[in-house]
Amino acid sequence: MKKVIVASHNPVKLAAVREGFERIFPGEVFVVEGMAVASGVSDQPRSNEETRAGAIQRSAAVATASRGDFYIGIEGGVSTNEDGMEAFAWVAVQDAVGRKGKARSAGFFLPPRVAALIGEGKELGEADDIVFGRVNSKQENGAIGLLTGNAIDRKSYYREAVIMALIPFKNKTLYHIS
């Protein structure tokens, strides 16, 4: 049995990590635990670089503060370009000996009302709750679920990024991390 420490107590992130590990390592047993740590970045990261740094720093913080086999940081962020405000997430994984994997989720564009609220200083989850009349949607289906009618929910959205971040651990010889 392997212990996976996630830099969050959010049940959606914990479930996404558990499912990601189970899918990429079928037959192995994982215990997934959450731990709150600081990201070292803004509460609402506003660039690809800041979001990536938040995931990496969360992963490193749980590795320093706990004992496990894998440490995971997941950070959601936004970035504005000529097409509007794009939402995405970064996942950073490291194991007990410091080997690392990282992946970025797919990106999607936010509605102008949500983007405007973020521009005023709100976090994405708070903006979603205001626009969609929800409470704590970030611990449920999130922006992606609200916008797709749950064709993709927040758990499945993160799960795919977790799986991609685990590719080097699944293919150790190809990534020279054995």
State pLDDT tens for residues 126-174.
999 999 999 888 778 899 999 999 999 999 999 999 999 999 999 999 9
Q: Does pTM surpass 0.85?
A: yes
What angle is formed at CA 67 by the lines to CA 94 and CA 173, rounded to 5 degrees? Answer: 30
Instruction: Collect all residues with Cβ–Cβ distance below 8 Å to 116 and sequence separation of at least 6.
Output: none
Domain made up of 2-105+155-175: CATH architecture? Alpha-Beta Complex (3.90)
- pLDDT in 10s for each residue of the chain, 178 residues: 999 999 999 999 999 999 999 999 999 999 999 999 999 999 999 999 999 999 999 999 999 999 999 999 999 999 999 999 999 999 999 999 989 999 999 999 999 999 999 999 999 999 999 999 998 887 788 999 999 999 999 999 999 999 999 999 999 999 876 5
What residue spans define the domains of the chain? Answer: 2-105+155-175
Measured CA to CA, the distance from residue 75 to residue 52 in angstroms comes to: 7
Tell me if 109 sits within 8 A of 81, measured CB to CB.
no
Query: What's the DSSP call for residue 34?
Result: E
H/E segment holding residue 103: strand 100-104
Predicted pLDDT of residue 178: 52
